[in-house]
Amino acid sequence: MKDLARFSGGQANPAALDQSSHASVQVRLITISGEEADQRIDNFLLRICKGVPKSHIYRVLRSGEVRVNKGRVDQTYRLREGDVIRIPPVRVAERATQAVPGAEFSILFEDPWVLVIDKPAGVAVHGGSGVSYGVIEQLRASRPEAKFLELVHRLDRETSGILMLAKKRSALTNLHEQIREGQLDKRYLALVHGDWQNARQHVKLPLFKYTTPDGERRVRVQSDGLPSHTVFNLVRRYGSFALLEAELKTGRTHQIRVHLASSGFPIAGDDKYGDFALNRALQKSDGSRIALKRMFLHAYQITFTHPESGVPVTLKAPLPPECEKFLKSLEQASK
């Protein structure tokens, strides 16, 4: 039987194996509880098999060594209460792993079901793709007593603002249902360059997700892509720039960024889809205009139905100081 966590060139760590006891070298059978139900099996395994690389998790899923109710499933299978999962032997090889520092973030709302924070720009929401850890890992490290903590949705690393997490499986399931039904309203503020004309504009462009040869995740407008819809409202003009509110009607990867760039209005500071010459110019101050050293995209408002009480909740996160200061400098420069 294949070993789930045999690293290339790595050597076994006896201490790690001892801590795992027989669970590390024997097949495990786990029965899914109600709180564990309705999550994808790959996400479940990544949590159960701590220290095992993602590549190994997906390998044993593809090979059929992981079974649900004695049958093969793929990585997208959603667990049901009462499912019995067969997990093959797991060994965690000795490999230097970076300790995750616990961190707390500005909290906008918290109760026993939901945690909503104001994420800074430049911080990933989770580890992976060259990032050792992100918001979710740091929050778990700072809250070791938390029995459950999962991301409800995601934000790009370069985007600041509202990020929602669930503290109970039932809350996560409920909020995901609200997202699927279009009942969760998320709004962003984006600064674009160009002569934006309309007070309100709908953009409906299908988006196709792909991976570059160097492994970077990208999105482009493509006829056979997923249907995607964003509504943009003009908030204010600042000379050759315009501050827009973006309403997400669908929640595709990089949706706002690609919809704006494809419409001829790149977000200021966007290093993936933006105007690179403009971005370089913005990184240096010019007269009364100060430098902009980040992408100007901020998740500033969210409205959802509380998963326990059923009461509508609207939360707002103010623009970060660096964005506020940049707008004020644009205002001064346009006078």
pLDDT at 3 over 90: no
Q: Does domain 106-333 have CATH number 3.30.43.10?
A: no
- What the block records as the tokens of 218 is 């990208």
What does the pLDDT read at residue 25? 55
CATH topology of domain 11-94: 3.10.290
Q: Which of 38, 156, 270, 275 is catalytic?
A: 156
Distance CA 318, CA 168 (A): 27
Distance CA 315, CA 230 (A): 20
What does the pLDDT read at residue 95? 45
Distance CA 325, CA 331 (A): 10
Residue 28 CA to its chain's centroid (Å): 30
Q: Hey, where are the domains in the chain?
A: 11-94, 106-333
pLDDT at 213 over 70: yes
The average confidence (pLDDT) of the chain is 87
Whole-angstrom Cα Rg for the chain:
22
- Among 93, 103, 100, 107, CA closest to 12: 93
What does the pLDDT read at residue 280? 96
Distance CA 171, CA 304 (A): 12
Q: Please, which pLDDT band fits residue 170 given cuts at 50, 70 and 90?
A: very high
Q: Please, which pLDDT band fits residue 275 given cuts at 50, 70 and 90?
A: very high
Distance CA 110, CA 7 (A): 40
Residue 160 CA to its chain's centroid (Å): 11
Q: Are 189 and 195 in contact (CB under 8 A)?
A: no
What does the pLDDT read at residue 21? 38
> 156 catalytic, yes or no?
yes
pLDDT at 9 over 70: no
Distance CA 257, CA 277 (A): 17
Q: Burial level of 7, CB count in 10 A (0-12/13-18/19+)?
A: middle
229-260: b or e for each residue (b if 16 or more CB lie within 10 Å)? bbbbeeeeebeebbbbbbbbbeebebbbbbbb
What does the pLDDT read at residue 128? 67
Output 48 or 310, whichever has higher pLDDT.
Answer: 310
What does the pLDDT read at residue 1? 40
